[in-house]
Structure 1
């Protein structure tokens, strides 16, 4: 019972706090903490793949370094849908227009399924061309193809679950998706090594002292694992179950935002609103992904150990930056709801509060990473060259972690205000105009160290740019709740405000 009381004290539902009145710190904390846990679970998918594939082979680990940016690109192209849905749900919820929030959520789910099916087909058919364009080594390319084709087939589930989380967050419920994500991650972690190694040479059985059982299962099934393809199957299968559970929760409507089948008939007037908000958000996500993929052009010229170190470093960053991502998403929701409630000053203070908190938290995290860089890197591989390059990458980048928090805080505010174009501009400037050219030039002069130097330079400048742009106050002109989506007649009738 004591544990349950502690959990209930930390994770409060949206019914227990108000995002549009009172203090800022507590509601932002209660909104963001489940997102931290949720994003930690999200990262656990990638970390599990990275860990087990690192045990499988260095080639598989290098392959996943190329696969993850390509996966992010596929999702980023459709990211605008989830951002638009989250923003509209947040603003309509803040304005007390629950029926409009439901309609926005229903339409978002419908368009998300359509978009992910189209992108999945494209991703499956053109993965070879993408790898050729990136100049991936012939030894690694077939492994990347195996992973990406499975992922493309299951993209509708991967992206559908991401949309579920975004819609619930826009409403202010971050606890429900956290629990769904927890179950999905546990499932993925259990089946990941089984599908990668099968019942032959599986290190999990060796660590558990179940070698005899492993031999018996191998003789019974003959399954020797699917390698990197098995990792993709594990991820897609666990996300599929999570998406189905999420859809069922939203249809019931007793937790978070509700969706209705009759409101899922594609509405072109809603599509126009999604385009206005969502396209810049997709540009932001795509710009991030393209910059990462274009950086692979530079990285591909280095030895496999450097490529693997880049993969390890970026996976570790994905854990370190969980507070920044969570607070950014919390700020997005609070900004949207406060704008819906016509409280722009409170929305502004939410952004400044979040930026200050993240600057402090991530600076401390950076110091810790600088001290423990080598032991952290050695968790993922036994290769001395990979460990050395990974440790250097971590130490060089760690000094700028706080500025990433500042940038994330303000870009979350821009998105919540519906000013997704500004958030996209900040990302493009930081990653495309600053990081990529610096990496390309510095790598030619300093080798692998030049690659790593590009990260702190772009992080610091990105944080400064985001702060100065937010201080201009142009986001205050956004008031999406005054504009009409053009809710038309559906099979359930026209949508009106409650």
Structure 2
């Protein structure tokens, strides 16, 4: 049996659900694992320093990277959804037009975000609670990332558009090459091996931006050639101010979802910063471990998004519903199994990234508080992907905000700062375990909310291949052959 199947071998709108979802999601899992390898490589090499400040610096830097990307990520989600629905409706030229316009507006948005972010990095890091050497290192790291944002974001757009068309293998192969390059460059630029200067934390950022920039160029070249996945056309990349309405209608809620996730991590950092640098470093490593563990759920999320979009476009809502329920069950079982493994091996996992005993001990505690609830994250992700694929990005955003802002942040603040009511079993004095508890509580409650919301069936109303009243703005222009 072939583990990977090409786009032309997959039928997402007929036949079995399990097989196409598996073949669609497996390359996404690999791609996301490679994606995490960027962050894990930085964490590993910076963990080789004797002091915790470099690790703490990227702990503060990573959420801001996530925030900047999330602010513009809605456009790539909109492009992916439109490409998927037009593909399912057998409207190839409309799908290509959607992809071309997405690339244009995504580049404009990421350039503006990067330039704006460059000038507020230091103030933002200080606002989160970074200070002293940690603030200096985090600022150096983020200034490079901000200027390189268009290159980083361009590759994410390439991945999204190819996925919408049903091709998840090509992005995986491109990602593999750039990860190898990044991992190779990291020690040379961080420690100054060979002819390179020792840039420290800033060197990790330079390696990341350079690798992502090369990936973006390769990805754009593939789409312009049109030999794999979706094709983009230079003649259709001139900004169409009428089409941006359709992209924004889908993309703004998707950006809200991603931005909400990013802001929640940033606000959690404000709470984490009330404790020691050791707690900050443990939190940073733990978050990166989570990003690795959750890769299967995120991959299924994206696979469900594509399958739901194509089935909605093909007017097969029942098959879309069955896909979501199947994905939720599988994601729960897979992540629950991972949770057992993480719980048992937590100290050993932390030791991979740092040999500082205090950081290892606190990080292991963090992992063990959250690991038993991993399966519920799989449920949330599966149904969120379904909502997005149906164009209900606002619903996905609402679930995310409820999970993170309404549940996780308040519980983290109350439980960790010693504000628990008298008689509660939660510690009544400041303790970081209150933050770890908040992750577990929010994971479980959000899974229930996502399932019940999906059962309401409001997602069935979406069909973004129609102009939905956009005729006043010109609707979707008819693409022309070049």
Matched, 1:468 2:452: yes
Matches within 5 A, 1:395-434: 395-434=368-407
Equivalence for 1:210: none
Q: Distance in 2 between matches of 1:175 and 1:191?
A: 25
Contact (CA 8 Å) 2:94, 2:478: kept in 1 or not? Answer: no
Equivalence for 2:268 = 295
Shift of 1:192: 0.6
| Distance in structure 1 (CA, Å) of the matches to 2:478 and 2:376 | 46
Per the TM alignment, residue 224 of structure 1 is displaced from its structure 2 partner at its CA by 4.3
Kindly report which structure 2 residues correspond to 1:302-313, keeping only aligned pairs within 5 A, or say none.
Answer: 302-313=275-286
1:118 counterpart = 2:112: yes
Partner of 1:84: 78
1:281 aligns to 2:275 (yes or no): no
Query: In the alignment, what sits opposite 1:52?
Result: 45
Offset of residue 14 of structure 1: 1.3
Deviation at 1:197, TM superposition (A): 0.3
Q: Does 76-85 or 129-138 show the bigger shift?
A: 129-138
Cα separation, 1, equivalents of 2:408 and 2:300: 24
- Mapped partners of 1:361, 1:489: distance in 2: 43
Cα RMSD of the aligned pairs, angstroms, is: 1.5
Asked if 1 retains the 8 angstrom alpha-carbon contact of 2:467 and 2:475, the reply is no
The 1:333/1:384 distance shift into structure 2, 3 A limit, reads same
The structure 2 residue matched to 1:40, chosen from 33, 36, 39, is 33
How far apart, in 2, do the equivalents of 1:197 and 1:58 lie? 16
Cα separation, partners in 2 of 1:474 and 1:496, compared to 1, 3 Å:
farther
TM-score w.r.t. the length of structure 1 is 0.92
1:349 to 298, 310, 322: 322
Q: Does the Cα contact within 8 Å between 2:243 and 2:475 map onto a contact in 1?
A: no
Q: How far apart are 1:277 and its partner, in Å?
A: 0.3
Q: Using the alignment, how far apart are the partners of 2:239 and 2:97 within structure 1?
A: 11
Matches within 5 A, 1:304-343: 304-343=277-316
Which runs of no fewer than 5 residues in structure 1 stay unpaired?
1-5, 200-216
| Cα distance in 2 between the residues matched to 1:271 and 1:416 | 19
Mapped to 2, the partners of 1:49 and 1:390 lie a distance apart of 17
Could you tell me how far 1:489 is from its partner in structure 2? Answer: 11
Q: Which residue of 2 aligns with 1:254?
A: 227
TM-score using structure 2 length: 0.95
* C-alpha deviation, 1:482, in angstroms: 2.3
- What does residue range 165-176 of structure 1 map to in structure 2 within 5 Å? 165-176=159-170
Show the counterpart of 2:354: 381
Equivalence for 2:217: 244
Query: Is residue 2:440 matched to residue 1:456?
Result: yes
Q: CA deviation at 1:450?
A: 0.8
Q: Which residues in structure 2 correspond to 1:223-242 (within 5 Å)?
A: 223-242=196-215
2:13 to 20, 26, 31: 20
Match of 1:206 in 2: none
Aligned-residue offset at 1:483: 2.1
For the pair 1:479 / 2:463, whether they are aligned, the reply is: yes
| Deviation of 1:135 (Å) | 2.2
Verify the 8 A CA contact 2:141 2:202 in the aligned structure 1: yes
Q: Tell me the equivalent position of 1:151.
A: 145
Secondary structure at 2:232 match in 1: coil
Instruction: Report SS of the residue matched to 2:132.
Output: coil
In the aligned structure 2, how far is the partner of 1:47 from the partner of 1:273? Answer: 37
Distance in 2, matches of 1:177 and 1:324, equals 18
> Does the 8 Å contact 2:86/2:310 carry over to 1?
yes
What whole-Å deviation, never above 9, does each CA across 1:113-157 have from its counterpart, x for those lacking one? Answer: 100100001110111221222121222101011000000111001
CA contact (8 A) 1:488 1:495 kept: no
Number of equivalences: 467
Cα deviations by residue, 1:210-248 (Å, 9 ceiling, x for unpaired):
xxxxxxx4xxx4x44100010000000000000000000
8 Å contact from structure 1 (residues 488, 494) kept in 2: no
Match of 2:423 in 1: none
Which digits, 9 at most, give the CA deviation of each residue in 1:31-64, with x for residues without a partner?
0000000000000000000100111341000000
Q: Tell me how far apart the structure 2 counterparts of residues 306 and 127 of structure 1 sit (CA, whole Å).
A: 22
> Residue deviations 1:286-337, cap 9 Å, x none?
0111111011110001001100000010100011000000000000000000
Q: Which runs of 5+ in 2 are unaligned?
A: 419-426
Q: 1:198 aligns with which of 184, 192, 196?
A: 192
Cα distance in 2 for partners of 1:335, 1:379 equals: 38
